Structure formats: structure tokens, C-alpha cells
Chain A
Amino acid sequence: MGRHVIRRLLQMIPVFIGSTFLIFLLVYALGDPVAALFGDKAPDPATAARIRQDLHLDQPLWRQYLHYMAQIFRGDFGTAFNGRPVLELMADAFPVTLRLTLVAVAVEVVAGIAFGVISGLRRGRPLDTGLLVLTLVVVSVPTFVSGYLLQFLLGVKWGWVRPSVSFDATFAELLLPGVVLALVSLAYVTRLTRTAVAENARADYVRTAVAKGLPRRRVVTHHILRNSLIPVVTFIGADVGALMGGAIVTERIFNIHGVGYQLYQGILRNNAPTVVGFVTVLVIVFLLANLLVDLGYAVLDPRIRHA
């Protein structure tokens, strides 16, 4: 177990190098950012050349990459075009997005599993059908629309919540955005739980447990749910990273100055330090989430061992 964790942590090193290089390559492929800095005006050649030189854009890709890595090891993640150190941007953005992700994951876990268990146990009943319809709505209506509508209805029409999130982005403010962000994943979690619960509800050990006279609630939580959770946990683990980096639309709608927003700005402006820095941290988050999921397997199903 301990060795497994250490090995997994060591694996992060090549992944870190590989993913930074890949992202570096992608941003490089986006092209030269300098012309866009001048807006609709012509870039002044001397100034543009000086900016390129300062950003090492005049050097071949591999040297730019080596230079960037050397910088990172000195704890310097470079500077965004608006003059702010990327490290500072990350320090602002990641805590906000982390809170948003926590809310979204909580919604996914609580609501998704609850809905899934209900519809799994009540297959074919009106409740199950109702949840299926909800799933369809969530999948086919873009986040932009669901987010905007909820914001408009709850924030303006009925005045229940503040429609935008302040710069501090407290948990209370992030509840609505968190729900919106979780919607699509909610569909996945509900369906995955439903399938697994429906399958396990027919398993022999459940029948045995019921026959033994165990209380229904205990059967559901201890026998059915525990054995149904592996795909769900896998999905949520994989989703954590996707939620953190992929909240571009939700963050825009609710004025959240988080990772998705900064990343999008960085991509639009071809700003390599911002994009590579943020994505690198995201990849590390993926690795950790994945590791936790794998350790969670062993808890859910003791037969799965990690040598």
C-alpha cells in the first residue's frame, strides 16, 4: 500500500514533464501572441521584437521549453501579459475554483447518488421516468442556457440569490454556480448509480442479506450501494479535474475569477506561461484524484489490492 502510493507519486515526474511539454507544444502551435497585443493597430516592429526577445519567443521551441522548466524550478511561473506573475494568478484562481468544485462534487455525490438509488430501486416507475427526462434535459440544454436561466430567474425575477459572485467567492455565493456546473455530471452519476444499483439489487448476496432479515436500509446502504459505487467513484474522481479546468462557461456566467476563466484568457491571448502553468497544476490534480480513487477501490471492494 505505502509502496503503491510512493510509486504512484514517482510516476508523476514523467507525467509532469510530458504534459508540460505537450501543452507547451500546443500553445506554441497556436502561434505568435505578440501581434495581438497591439489591438487593431499595427505592431511596432522594434517593440514587438523586444517583447519577443524578453519572452524568448525568438528561440527554437526546445530552448523555450528548457528555459521555462529552469524558471519553474526556481519557483517562477512567468508573467502574464497584463504584468501579473502567473503564480499570483494561480494563488487567486485555484482556491476559488477549488471551492466551486467542492460544491459541484458535493451536489453530484449527494443528489446524483440519491437520484440514482431511487431510480435504480424503482425501475420503470414514474419517478424513474421523471429522472430520465431530467437527464435528457440536462444533456441537451447547454450549460450556458441552464446557467443563464437559473441566474435570471433566481437572481433577478425572484431575487432569491445574488446573480453574480463577488471577487471573494464564498461558499454561499458558489452554491448556485456549483449546481449549474454539476448538472451534466449529475446525469452521468445518476445513470451510473441507477444501473449499478439495479444490477446489484438482484445479486445473490442481497437476496441472502434480505433473507437473513437485515433491515432494508442496511441492505441498501451496506450491500447494494457499497457494491455499486466503483463506477460512480471512478467517474467522480475523473470529473474533479474536468470540473476544475472545464468550468469556463459557468465561471463566465457567474463572474467567477477562477481557473477556467484565467485559462480561457490565456488561451485566447496565446499566453504560454499562463496556460502551461495552470494546466500543469490541473494535471497534478488529476493524478492525485486518480490516486485517491484507486485507493478508494480497495476500501469499497477489499478484494481489489494494490501491490
Chain B
Amino acid sequence: MPEPYENPNEAVAPTGAGGAMDLAAGEARSLTAPERPASPVPGEPGITAPEGTGAPAGPAPGEPGGRPRSLRTDAWHQLRRNPVFLLSALLILFLVLISLWPQLIAGGDPLRCDLERSQEGSAPGHPFGYDTQGCDVYTRTVYGARASLTVGICATVGAALLGGLLGGAAGFFGGWWDALLSRIADVFFGIPVVLGGLVFLSVVTSDTVWPVVGFIVLLGWPQVARIARGSVLTAKEHDYVQAARALGAGPGRTLLRHVAPNAVAPVIVVATIALGTYIALEATLSFLGVGLRPPTVSWGIDISNAAPQIRNAPHMLLWPAGALSVTVLAFIMLGDAVRDALDPKLA
């Protein structure tokens, strides 16, 4: 199962304690702190973080500040008190739970369909109504979470990592490395999704979601790479980066410690929205006959089946699309919270 918390942690990870960055962060804090009101909702110290986030958190948050806390510790400390983060974490936890055990909240069989009830509205025991094939929309929406979340999260993490790393490197190192990577991205960008999907996914077939995930990563990384490259280009011109260089920091250290944390925000923004569009892209691929195949149940398949029927049976679209919205909302909120926590000026 995908770990939804991996993504933000990856973004946090490179910004560990150290050197000039901490100095800069500390300085920013000292400048802004007095003007900043206390956290809007006082964090409850008793609350334990949802599992998965805790592990890499470094030193205990409550550690008395004898020395400036590292950015990572600081971020984590702040996240725990952020209601937006807590809400999104709860939502995601819920989604993960129903992906693992859909039968917890849905008793039916998503593949059991009675054509006689085709497109009927809600009925007792079937609150969301029926789809064209007469399957229960509620059961299918619940069961669809697994495939859709797996595709969405894995593809997003994959595209963000691959695109972020390659694009970041291109922007940072420049020169022939940039030229090569950017031009490869151009070629990949040029491949129409339909063509690539029909070819790639009819060659690599399997009953699992992985070919679809792989394909989306393959087509999605150039977009992230462009964004990452652009923001690295800006970030590396900042004074503190120049300062770090002047102080003798090597390129690797400069990139990881100073440039990346300041360039990561746009990547997070694009990734959180891309999560939604990737889940929807899976629908397009299914529609073309090369995406996930039955008996797999996914929101994408249901959305693409419901879309043409929008005038006849809007409820068919409403529920899977609503579930997709909630998922995207959770990840956008998570992305916002993580980004805020990462921003030293806000801390």
C-alpha cells in the first residue's frame, strides 16, 4: 500500500539541520517571530501523530531549545499544531482505511449488478442509486478507492520524484546537462497521451495497476521537471545561496540544503493537483480500453462511464467525482500545510 505521508517527508527530508540554512532560518524567525500571533489553535500536546509521519521526525519536538531547532524538527512541530494538517491527515487516513478494508463500510459486492435497475436513483439500502449496468454506486465508490488512490498516489509520487530530481538537477547544474534533460522532456511532452497510452499499455498488459502507474509517471514527469527547473533557477540566485557558495559549500550541499527547500513549493502545488488529474487520466485510459480493466473497480472507470450519461443520471457521476474531489482536497490541504511548515519565514 502506498504511504501517503512519504511525499511530504521526502520534501522535508533534504532540509535537515545544518549550517547556513539554519542560520538563515533562525534569523528569519527572530525577525518575524515577535510579530506573529500564536498558532490559531493551540496544539494539544497529548495528541499523537497519525502513524507514518512520526518516524523521521528527528529530535523530540518538545526538546528545550538550547540551540536553534532544525528546520525539519521545526516543521514537524508546527505541522502537529496545524488544524489543516490534522484534518487532511484524518481524511487521508480514512481513505487509506477504506482502500484496505472497503468491506468495513460497504457490505455489498461491487460486481453484482442487475440491469433491471439501470440508472435508477437512490433506494433503501442503496443510498447513491445505481449505474447504467445496475450496479450499486455506493459500493462501487467505496471499492473504487483502492485502485484510484493507488494510481493517484503512486503516479504522483513517482512523477514528482523523477521530475523534481531531473528538473532540479537541470536547473541547478545548467549547461549541457540542462540542455539534454530539457530536450528529452520536450520529446516526452510531445507524445500524445492517446497514442502513448494505446501503444505502451497494449504492449505492457497486466491485471494490476502498475502499468498504468508507470505510464502516467512516464508522461507526467516532464511537467514537474519544468516547474522544478524554473523554481530552482530562481532559488539558486538568492543571496543566501550565493552566500553559502561563497562560504565554500559544495554543489551537492548547496542544492540539497539551500536550493531545494526553497524551490519545493511549486512542485508540491503541481503535485497535489496532478494527483487529481492523474486519477482522472486513469479514467481516460480506461475509456480508451487500455487503462484498468474489469473486474478492477475504480473511480476513473465509473467517472468515464457516467460522463456521457450526465443528462440521464447525474447521480452516477456525482458520487465517484465527489470522492475524487475529497481526495484531492485532502492532498491540497496536506500540501499547503507541509509547505507552510517548510517556509522558514512563516515558522
* Residues of chain A having any CB pair with chain B under 8 Å: 7, 11, 14-15, 18-19, 22-23, 26-27, 29-30, 132, 135-137, 139-142, 144-145, 148-149, 152, 184, 187-188, 191-192, 195-196, 199, 202-204, 230-231, 233-235, 237-238, 241-242, 245-246, 248, 263-264, 267, 275, 279, 282-283, 286-287, 290, 293, 297, 301, 303-304
Interfacial chain B residues near A286, Cβ < 8 Å: 186, 189-190
Q: Which of B45-53, B57-65, B105-113, B227-235 contacts A (4 or more CB under 8 A)?
A: B227-235
Instruction: Contact check, A195 vs B269: say whether CB atoms are below 8 A apart.
Output: yes
Given contacts A18-B187, A202-B346, A286-B186, A264 and B277 within 8 Å (CB-CB) = no
Instruction: Contact check, B230 vs A230: say whether CB atoms are below 8 A apart.
Output: yes
Instruction: Contact check, B329 vs A248: say whether CB atoms are below 8 A apart.
Output: no
Instruction: Give the residue of B223, B229, B307 whose beta carbon is less than 8 angstroms from that of A145.
Output: B307
Instruction: Contact check, A245 vs B190: say whether CB atoms are below 8 A apart.
Output: yes
Interfacial chain A residues near B198, Cβ < 8 Å: 30, 267
Interfacial chain A residues near B191, Cβ < 8 Å: 22-23, 26, 279
A140 CB to nearest chain B CB (Å)? 4
B189-210 residues at the A interface, CB under 8 angstroms: 189-196, 198-199, 203
Instruction: Give the residue of A15, A238, A246 whose beta carbon is less than 8 angstroms from that of B192.
Output: A246
Instruction: Give the residue of A15, A187, A203, A304 whose beta carbon is less than 8 angstroms from that of B237.
Output: A304
Interfacial chain A residues near B317, Cβ < 8 Å: 141, 145
B120 CB–A CB distance under 8 Å: no
Instruction: Give the residue of A7, A14, A26, A238 whose beta carbon is less than 8 angstroms from that of B196.
Output: A26
User: Bound state CA distance, A242 and B196, in angstroms?
Assistant: 14
Instruction: Contact check, A144 vs B227: say whether CB atoms are below 8 A apart.
Output: no
B338 CB to nearest chain A CB (Å)? 12
A90 CB to nearest chain B CB (Å)? 15
Instruction: Contact check, A140 vs B196: say whether CB atoms are below 8 A apart.
Output: no
Instruction: Give the residue of B189, B222, B234, B336 whose beta carbon is less than 8 angstroms from that of A304.
Output: B234
1/0 contact string of B315-335 vs chain A (CB within 8 Å): 001000110110011001000
Instruction: Contact check, B273 vs A15: say whether CB atoms are below 8 A apart.
Output: no
Instruction: Contact check, A139 vs B277: say whether CB atoms are below 8 A apart.
Output: yes
Interfacial chain B residues near A145, Cβ < 8 Å: 307, 310, 317
User: Can you list 30 A-B contacts (CB < 8 A)?
Assistant: A19-B186, A26-B196, A136-B276, A139-B277, A139-B324, A140-B325, A140-B328, A141-B321, A142-B283, A142-B307, A184-B277, A191-B269, A192-B227, A192-B269, A195-B339, A196-B265, A231-B266, A233-B230, A234-B230, A235-B227, A235-B270, A238-B189, A238-B226, A246-B193, A263-B194, A267-B195, A283-B190, A286-B190, A287-B186, A303-B237
| Chain A residue nearest in CB terms to B304 | A142
Instruction: Contact check, B266 vs A196: say whether CB atoms are below 8 A apart.
Output: yes
Interfacial chain A residues near B307, Cβ < 8 Å: 142, 144-145, 148
User: Bound state CA distance, A199 and B339, in angstroms?
Assistant: 10
B239 CB to nearest chain A CB (Å)? 10
A241 CB to nearest chain B CB (Å)? 6
B189 CB to nearest chain A CB (Å)? 5
Interfacial chain B residues near A15, Cβ < 8 Å: 183, 186-187
B150 CB–A CB distance under 8 Å: no
B280 CB–A CB distance under 8 Å: yes
* Residues of chain B having any CB pair with chain A under 8 Å: 31-32, 179, 182-183, 186-187, 189-196, 198-199, 203, 222-223, 226-227, 229-231, 233-234, 237, 265-266, 269-270, 272-273, 276-277, 280, 283-284, 303-304, 307-308, 310-311, 317, 321-322, 324-325, 328-329, 332, 336, 339, 343, 345-346
A137 CB to nearest chain B CB (Å)? 7
B202 CB to nearest chain A CB (Å)? 8
Interfacial chain A residues near B328, Cβ < 8 Å: 136, 139-140
Given contacts A188-B273, A191-B269, A22 and B187 within 8 Å (CB-CB) = yes
Instruction: Contact check, A29 vs B203: say whether CB atoms are below 8 A apart.
Output: yes
| Chain A residue nearest in CB terms to B346 | A202
Instruction: Contact check, A230 vs B190: say whether CB atoms are below 8 A apart.
Output: no
User: Bound state CA distance, A241 and B189, in angstroms?
Assistant: 8
Given contacts A191-B273, A231-B230, A286-B190, A199 and B179 within 8 Å (CB-CB) = no
A66 CB to nearest chain B CB (Å)? 20
Overall SS of chain B's interface? helix
| Chain B residue nearest in CB terms to A283 | B190
User: Bound state CA distance, A161 and B81, in angstroms?
Assistant: 50
Interfacial chain A residues near B346, Cβ < 8 Å: 202
Interfacial chain B residues near A202, Cβ < 8 Å: 32, 345-346
Given contacts A135-B273, A139-B273, A230-B234, A267 and B192 within 8 Å (CB-CB) = yes
| Chain B residue nearest in CB terms to A293 | B230
Instruction: Give the residue of A14, A132, A233, A238 whose beta carbon is less than 8 angstroms from that of B223.
Output: A238
Given contacts A230-B234, A301-B234, A149 and B310 within 8 Å (CB-CB) = yes
Instruction: Give the residue of A135, A195, A242, A293 whose beta carbon is less than 8 angstroms from that of B266.
Output: A195
Interfacial chain A residues near B183, Cβ < 8 Å: 11, 14-15, 18, 287
Interfacial chain A residues near B179, Cβ < 8 Å: 7, 11
Instruction: Contact check, A231 vs B227: say whether CB atoms are below 8 A apart.
Output: yes
User: Bound state CA distance, A135 and B237, in angstroms?
Assistant: 32
Interfacial chain A residues near B230, Cβ < 8 Å: 230-231, 233-234, 293, 297
Given contacts A29-B199, A144-B307, A195-B266, 17 further A-B contacts (CB under 8 A): A11-B179, A26-B196, A140-B325, A142-B283, A142-B303, A195-B269, A199-B345, A230-B234, A234-B229, A234-B230, A234-B231, A235-B226, A245-B192, A263-B192, A267-B192, A283-B186, A283-B190
Given contacts A26-B191, A26-B199, A246-B193, A140 and B270 within 8 Å (CB-CB) = no
